[in-house]
A and B are shown apart, each in its own frame.
Chain A
């Protein structure tokens, strides 16, 4: 079974902090994705990566950056956390030539 592991289930940070969310997949997938999920807004794509050191902006990249130094690991960085970034963050991965995406269990991030 595909396993996508997100480093923290719950995280509380303060405004202005730099926040790192980590995601690791064990299926040698080329593609990795970061989404945020908010009530009434659904899942929105923040960033994705098709290969090591490659990144592409999604629909809502403002205030975020990403890093993919190794194939299995994709990090989401909140450069200076703000309260409107309080959300559920979901990481996913997929094979290059076919769907579907497989998700981790999410990190529920609260910015105070």
Chain B
């Protein structure tokens, strides 16, 4: 069983839609959870960072962590064409330790 599972998509939505991106994981020791956005031919850019369970909101983005279900989500409200990118979830057991990544979901937002 892979440690982190993420649906690769592609996911295509119209501008203004609400987007839900998800990852499941098997290691109950994971405590740090991140979402990265990666544009074509660029490195991953940190989008959201949460510790343990709960929600975190930043503008149009909301990250949710449900440790009991081993499930994390990223919601994008009022999606824009500039949100078209690959979204990677990542997680780790401890601060400063190596991250385990999902394989990424490719999102396309059409105007």
Q: Which residues of A contact B (CB under 8 A)?
A: 4, 30-31, 33, 40-43, 45, 48, 50, 58, 90, 94-106, 108
Contacts and interface: CB of A to CB of B under 8 A. Distances in A.
Given A95-B95, A105-B43, 13 more contacts: A30-B96, A42-B104, A50-B96, A95-B96, A96-B96, A97-B96, A98-B96, A99-B99, A100-B49, A101-B90, A104-B43, A105-B41, A106-B43
A98 B44 CA distance: 18
Nearest to B39: A105
B60 interface: no
Interface in B26-40: 32, 34, 36
A33 B96 contact: no
Given A105-B43, A106-B43, A99 B96 contact: yes
A82 to B, nearest CB: 24
Contacts of A30: 96
Interface string B84-101: 000010101001101101
